[in-house]
Structure 1
């Protein structure tokens, strides 16, 4: 196992009574995208007959998270009110359905106070889910996009305790300004490569196979790339990519991946 990828696999054993679990990722919730937020709210408030036994959020629930203190910011600011609304909805959902959260590349600064406010249980990346007699490997997916060398260097920097401590020591206004700058750079990079999807970094197949073999699993479930698909990696190994959510796109996108004893099923959601 390449130590630069992972040196261990966390494991979560599903309770015997679980019959179905749902996976979502890359909702990129933000106050400026109310349609996606409304779709997410409807999803959380579904009747009991439509819910799974657990919800797994595999990263990038939020467009950006600059620190748990956004929940305590002055009430006259739009974003803090939005974050508190998100927290209230998800915490209410967690009272009847356990919610597990794995950090993505946009919300890796969600800390203990934020996790508690949202009612979520933290998941390491990667984590093996033992469910219905099989092992399923879960990841956000960005750590496997090895060809994106610039991002991998950036990821290593911002995931370090030193960088995070220095960043969180700044004022909320300063952190939000930094986040806006990073998002602008990311959007510019997307626009520059939009004409050629082959330029977009994807999950490295040998690395994904290595993870699966070391984890004793046959299927990797991840998000991050915004390219929902099922990939055959050979030797019985598969990679399921979650959909991102954008209710304002044409066509709109929002999908849940549900796992039951019979396997994985993609469930499109109503976005109107």
Structure 2
């Protein structure tokens, strides 16, 4: 929840930044007010499915996948003392152990997990997703996820640029370099022609806040991992992370990749493993 609220704040900053960039200096607050009113759209009963499909890029599980997910998800509901039926299951395509947070009554699981894990370990992965948004099934949670959409879209764009710069270095680095120079020029223009420090600091926020949000994201992920331990599935989740790490390292050696570890996500999983082991030692 803390990470979601932080993304909401960044989302408002992005909207304000765009309105300033488009020359709507006097109308910035009108744009922000309209963006706030747009949140009423997510109160529509079918908003969860629309957000899952079009905002988070998830898909519905197939019949076979639903049959695999149902026993594990009902097991999570029994452990957590909740009715699992109001929640809807969605699949996030990707070779990662746990899915990103979709919020609302949406439970997301990765295609890697649903197709490769036995029921007990799949239950641990589903428990992690439930733990990431324990209080996200209210209308407040829906609004927060909607207002954080600009921050999520910008983050997705940055990740795509990083992948492009790694896959096609000449093209990717040219695009990234152009954007950096354009951003520096825009910031210098604002610094020279605007009085005070408020507007320049707002333009600096896209550079300063991602590091803060990354830390908050790790904190939120760690709290969810601990909640899985509290549900009695900590060792199963630990085995999932170990299995993913071993499989990822093996695949990397086979195709001969030499990408930095921070791009592969491996240190994140390693940190989760260490934190889980320390937390499990208390029990």
- Which has the larger helix fraction? 2
Alignment TM-score > 0.5, same fold: no
TM-score range for the pair, normalised by the shorter chain length: under 0.3
